[in-house]
A and B are shown apart, each in its own frame.
Chain A
Amino acid sequence: MTARHKGWFIFVVLALAVVPKLGTNPYALHVLSLVGIYAIVTMGLNLVFGYTGQISLGHAAYFAVGAYTSGILTLQLGAPFAVGMIAAVALAVVLGLLVGIPSLKLEGSYLAMATIGFGEIVKMLLVNWEHVTGGPAGISRIPHPGILGFTFNTADAKFYLILTFSAVAWLLYANLLMSHYGTRFIAVRDSAKAAAGMGIDVRRTKIQAFVFSTAYAGMAGALYAHLNRYIAPDAFHLGESINFLLIVVVGGMGTLLGPLMGSAIIVYLRESLLVLKDYNMLIFGLILMVLMVFMPRGLVGSAQLLVSKWRRRRA
């Protein structure tokens, strides 16, 4: 990252850190925390879908794996939050490898089908493995997260915890994509043939991107479980996987900032449209259509296009 990027990064994190001090109500902080959690999931998914060009319609499953792993470990075994978090990421990585290695041999709609299949299997497990997952009723009273004796039991504290995780997740993701190493993902998307001809192991690159994304989804899932303190299978259905993809597309596929912008707009849209009750999805859908018609490259992608056009006109 250049000095300018670092400056922006610090500025945005500090600006967000001030938000709870402005007397923001707990609900607003909860929604902002959700934006952070969705941003973590979709940073990973953007690497897979936006940069590497591989679709996944099963990311809600890895999100669920993270949430249930940490939820169960901390609630039933009394494990500390850190252990729950590490286990959540580890299990998401293992499952990412187990699913990714065979299914990334597939392409396009076949890969989509395979990932949907995995999502459904996980959902079945959550519903039917009752004595572990609590079945359809899910798990409630998940402990507040605690680190080194400090308990994050207020909306403020949880917001800061999630802000920290999102900021670190962002740094690692941005470092990767701004490095020369990061170019291999786009190379695989643009021409797998040429990438192989340049010595890039295409299959390994796809698996790396996929496992990076499942690790991020697992991390976000654990945060979600401790933010909400209640999880149930309903929150992790196919619609949620589609929602993650939607965030990537609306934000701007293959743009660094896309997941942040996409998460912010989709989470806020969904929350603010709830007042419309039955018409909520109708309006949500309409807004999405308008967005995609006028900004086919997503918020960030279309903004970049505008800026570069404007610069060219001035030049």
Chain B
Amino acid sequence: MATAQGMMLEVSALAKNFAGVAAVSDVSFGVSEGEIVSLIGPNGAGKTSVFNMITGFYSPDTGSIQYAGCELRGLEPFRIARLGVARTFQNLELFRDMTVEGNMQVACQCHSPISLGAAMFRSAAVRRRETEDAERIARLVDAVGLRQQLGSMASQLSYGAQRRLEIARAMATGARLLLLDEPTAGMSPAEVDEILDLAKKVRDSGVTILLIEHNMNLVMRVSDRIIVMDHGMKIADGEPAQIRRDARVRQAYLGTAG
């Protein structure tokens, strides 16, 4: 286990109950800067709940979430996003009636100093900022292969393209830590490979990734470290090779997965 030194994200003793049912109990782990860490486990293991607590959508019953020296617990989701933690959603939460470009423009405002008044009077600062954003958007859509679809409605993209747009949109917030919730769900093997390359590209650009994923092939290939959850508890944490040999993991997860 890594020590607290150099940790970007440190989750300690996190717990959450829903109507008496423990969704997450006493989960602690850390993520170092520049890592790709996967969070795996059977359905209902509490992975997405952990994501929702880190990003402020659920408030934990106990525990703490330290990110770059800040306590995230108790902050609203938009404040956490502004601190540099962005996410994608398991069930896709695109702005469906907006173009790909519009989706990206929303995210570009995460750290924008532009005010409502400035936008109404279209000040020089607004024009400058919008030119910069357009360049950033062009780079990001290129990286996810959506250049041609910039003007298409998000709802009209293919499923795989929608997933890639969500990743690009999260990146457009200028995030330092990216939380991807099942980015390959429902994708073809070819599309999965694209996501794998994309995740590595994102990591190489200096962004740390925490990933929820069911595709074990992908997880084993991309992860620096893997955290395994079952029934709301962490049951293992280590490098892919260690996890593959772990008896409890086999029993809880890999065993059932065949």
* Residues in A lying within 8 Å of B, measured CB to CB: 1, 172-173, 175-176, 179-184, 186-187, 189-191, 193-202, 208, 212, 254
Contact = CB atoms under 8 A, between A and B. Distances in A.
A186 B86 CA distance: 20
B253 interface: no
Contacts of B114: 179-181
Interface in B82-99: 82, 86-87, 89, 93-98
A44 to B, nearest CB: 12
A201 B107 CA distance: 12
In terms of DSSP, what is the predominant structure of the interface of chain A? Answer: helix
Contact of B130 (A179, A200, A208): A179
Interface string B31-66: 000000000000000000000000101000000000
Contacts of B133: 180
A184 B105 CA distance: 9
A51 B8 CA distance: 38
A198 B120 contact: no
A199 B97 CA distance: 19
B84 to A, nearest CB: 10
Interface in B78-130: 78, 81-82, 86-87, 89, 93-98, 102, 105-112, 114, 116, 118-122, 126, 129-130
A197 B119 contact: no
B48 to A, nearest CB: 13
A191 B129 CA distance: 25
A208 B118 CA distance: 13
Contacts, number: 113
A183 B172 CA distance: 14
Given A172-B121, A198-B173, A183 B110 contact: no
B86 A197 contact: yes
Contacts of A190: 94-98
Contacts of B73: none
B121 to A, nearest CB: 7
B160 interface: no
Given A197-B89, A198-B81, A199-B110, A187 B116 contact: no
Nearest to B101: A183
**Which interface residue of A179, A181, A184, A208 has the most chain B CB atoms within 10 A?**
A181
Given A176-B116, A197-B86, A201-B76, 7 more contacts: A180-B112, A181-B109, A181-B116, A186-B102, A193-B93, A196-B77, A198-B173
